Amino acid sequence: MEYQLCPSILSADFNRLGEQIQALEGQGLKWLHIDVMDGDFVPSISFGMPVIKSIRQESGMFFDVHLMVTEPERYIQDFVACGADSITVHAEACEDLERTVERIRDTGVRAGIALKPATSAMEVSYLLHDIDMLLIMTVQPGFGGQRYIEDSTEKIRQARQMMREEGVDIPIQVDGGINDQTLPLVLEAGASRIVAGSYLFGGDLAENVKKVRKIMGHYAEKV
Ligand code: DX5
Ligand code: ZN
Mean per-residue pLDDT for 175-195?
98
Show the domains of the chain with their CATH numbers. Answer: 4-222 (3.20.20.70)
Would you place residue 221 in the very low, low, confident or very high pLDDT band (cuts 50, 70, 90)?
Answer: low
**Helix, strand, or coil here: 114?**
strand
pLDDT of amino acid 169: 95
Statement: residue 222 has pLDDT above 70: no
Best of 4, 5, 8, 174 for a ligand 1 pocket test (most atoms within 8 Å of beta carbon): 8
Mean per-residue pLDDT for 195-203?
97
218: exposed, middle or buried (Cβ count in 10 Å: 0-12, 13-18, 19+): exposed
pLDDT by residue (tens digit) across 48-67?
999 999 999 999 999 999 99
Residue 135 φ/ψ, nearest 5 degrees: -100, 115
151/117 Cα distance (integer angstroms): 9
Q: From the alpha carbon of 140, which atom of ligand 1 is closest?
A: 6
Best of 67, 140, 182, 198 for a ligand 1 pocket test (most atoms within 8 Å of beta carbon): 198
- What 97-105 contacts at long range (C-beta under 8 Å, 24+ apart), as own/partner pairs, is 97/124, 97/127, 98/126, 98/127, 98/130, 99/73, 100/72, 100/73, 100/76, 101/127, 101/130, 101/131, 102/130, 103/73, 103/76, 104/76, 105/130
Ligand 1 centroid to residue 103 C-alpha, Å = 26
User: In the structure, which protein residues have their CB atom closer than 6 angstroms to any atom of ligand 1?
Assistant: 8, 10-11, 33, 35, 66, 139, 141-146, 175-178, 195-199
Statement: residue 223 has pLDDT above 70: no
- List the catalytic residues: 35, 175
53/157 Cα distance (integer angstroms): 36
pLDDT by residue (tens digit) across 171-184?
999 999 999 999 99
Statement: residue 220 has pLDDT above 90: no
Lowest-pLDDT range, 81-85, 101-105, 182-186, 219-223? 219-223
